[in-house]
Amino acid sequence: MKANRIYLCLFLLSTFISSGQQNQAFIDSLKQELTHGGHNDSIKVVLLTKLHEKLMFAEPEVAKGYAQQELNIYKETGLELAYGLGNLHMGDYHFNKSENDSALYYYTIAKTNFEKNNKTRAIIFVNYTLADIYKMQGDYKKALSIFENSIDQIEKHISDEPYKSQFLASSYLAIGSCYFAKGDLRIALSETLRALKLYETINDALRSADTFKQLGDIESRLLHYKNALTYYQEAQKIYHNKNDNIYEANALHAIGQMHTHLNQPEEAETYLLKSIALAKKYEVKATQAKTLNELGLLYISKKEHQKAIQVLTESEQIASAEGIVLQQITTGKSMALLAENQGNYNKALRMLNKSISLCSIHETQSLLGDLFEQKAHVLEKQGNYKASIANYKNAQAVHDSISSVEKTRQIEELKTIYETEKKEAEIALQKEEINTLNEKAKVDRLTKSLYAGGMFTFVSVSGLLFFGFRQRIKKNRIAREKKEALLQKEIDHKKKELASQTLHLVQKNTFIQELKENLENLKNSPEKFKMEFRRIVMLLKKENASDRDWEVFKSYFSEVHNDFDQKIKTLCPDITEKEIRLSAFLRMNLSTKEIAATLNVLPDSILKSKYRLKKKLGLDKDQDLGQFLNAF
């Protein structure tokens, strides 16, 4: 009887894992097995684990009780499995409530236990959640390092399905989330779609909902609000059907946010309030903070400033207490907007400076440009036009760096495909010509060998044929040389155009520098300054915003220096787009001062970038970076 009960328990567990279905009948079956008694401690821990996993989002307090029972089993019996899983599940409880300090405490204990007992899968899972905490705290570099290391461990140690696909998909989704927060939407989209493909392969509806949610986030960042709303609604429907209350609160927040962007304030407020109520009920602090912030922005747009102050203050308090850096930045931006609307410009600037500082520390490019632009607007209202212009330029530089990287990557990918196909076609044609010539040469040699003895007339004819063939080869060679000469002329022309474009870039940025100096002189004539100010700002934004010069430059450079960017990416896969651009300028033998003028930065900044690039490429101190790049 005891053996049959254990078999039934394991059968239920395997059914749950393979199907991924969450239903009350299954929970009742687990509870019934647990209360029957007669199980050994290991089986009890397995049952408690599955109950915890089943209820951790729907009924977190009940799930916490099962985690505590696991720890009690360890105290009574010393069972290591109960100790590791009990601490892991207590960490889950605090993590889902955004109590990250407590979560880190329990996860660290669990990880130490799993390492001691060589529990590879459990270590991967703990690392995944630890990385998620670092991501929430703004330490994307550390989070990405853990996620990417987890992928290596999964490939090495896990082979059975659906576990391998589930672990890999979760890692890809998390990596996509990190890159999304950093503002690299292309990589975020790529990694998220990789996750969705795996989740759909193993028919994991709940995790697919997580992926739909993240796809909605990416579409929202791209300002495709209707597409984003569709993704969010799909995710919310799945969460609701699966009774996943915590993640449903997040989806409701996102739906409310999209209604705000689509100028549907009543629908927006309805969904945001639903999200806040659900998040408060289950004490999901991160969702509370971001939804309160969104509601505050809605109240600002409706000029209900008192309500806005109340919800934004609550959002800021939660974000600060829980160490949610990204939310601190976002709420600070919203509070600055409120202060600006109320005419309190000094308070607005303090809020913005604090948020900009946090962005710089945690490399959150996606928000930095908007913060600079908002600060410029406040400074303009204060009459501090010089500082306003500087912040407009900073904002445009950040926006351009994000958009130009995307455009450049897309253009370079298309050009690489085109160049590869063209080269493959040329190589195939050359091989065909060589084969034809070899076949003709073989035929000629065979003919001469067979008829060489005494057949003067035929030899004469053969000689004439051979002479004609030689003439044909000579003509082909002359034609080929002419073609090569034309190609060389075209390359020389492209080099001249490339040099011209480079000079144009230098002149353009020199113009901007001179314009700044002229603005200093213009301060001596206040009566003219205010009248010309807005025209100068628009001129600067237009001049900085143009990607055309960079695209033309990249086009010429690619044609003259074939596959330079691909070769350097092969040598150093983690090289950034900015470092590739610096490498291109160094390849053209531009001086540090010229590069600084081109990029509109200080020469010291270029020297630091060269040092970091040299270190990334693994060069010795004595090796010259320019000579190395020219060797490609």
Q: How far apart are CA 9 and CA 14, in angstroms?
A: 9
631: exposed, middle or buried (Cβ count in 10 Å: 0-12, 13-18, 19+): exposed
Is the confidence at residue 292, as pLDDT, over 90?
A: yes
Mean per-residue pLDDT, 120-137: 82
Q: How far apart are CA 94 and CA 102, in angstroms?
A: 6
pTM over 0.75: no
**The pLDDT of residue 228:** 93
Mean per-residue pLDDT, 490-505: 53
Mean per-residue pLDDT, 437-453: 55
Read off the pLDDT of residues 358-371 as tens digits, 9 standing for 90 and up: 877 766 666 788 88
More confident residue, 282 or 16: 282
Is the confidence at residue 185, as pLDDT, over 70?
A: yes
Read off the pLDDT of residues 462-478 as tens digits, 9 standing for 90 and up: 555 555 556 666 666 66
Q: How far apart are CA 230 and CA 248, in angstroms?
A: 15
136: exposed, middle or buried (Cβ count in 10 Å: 0-12, 13-18, 19+): buried
Where are the domains positioned within the chain? Answer: 471-560, 561-632
Mean per-residue pLDDT, 161-176: 86
**The pLDDT of residue 619:** 83
Residue 310's pLDDT band (cuts 50, 70, 90) = very high
Q: How far apart are CA 362 and CA 143, in angstroms?
A: 12
| C-alpha torsion angle, residues 37, 39, 41, 45 (rounded to 10) | -80
Read off the pLDDT of residues 141-156 as tens digits, 9 standing for 90 and up: 888 888 888 888 888 8
Proportion of the chain above pLDDT 70, given as a percent:
69
**The pLDDT of residue 422:** 47
Matching residue, tokens 């407020």 = 269
Architecture of domain 561-632 in this structure: Orthogonal Bundle (1.10)
**The pLDDT of residue 15:** 38
More confident residue, 284 or 11: 284
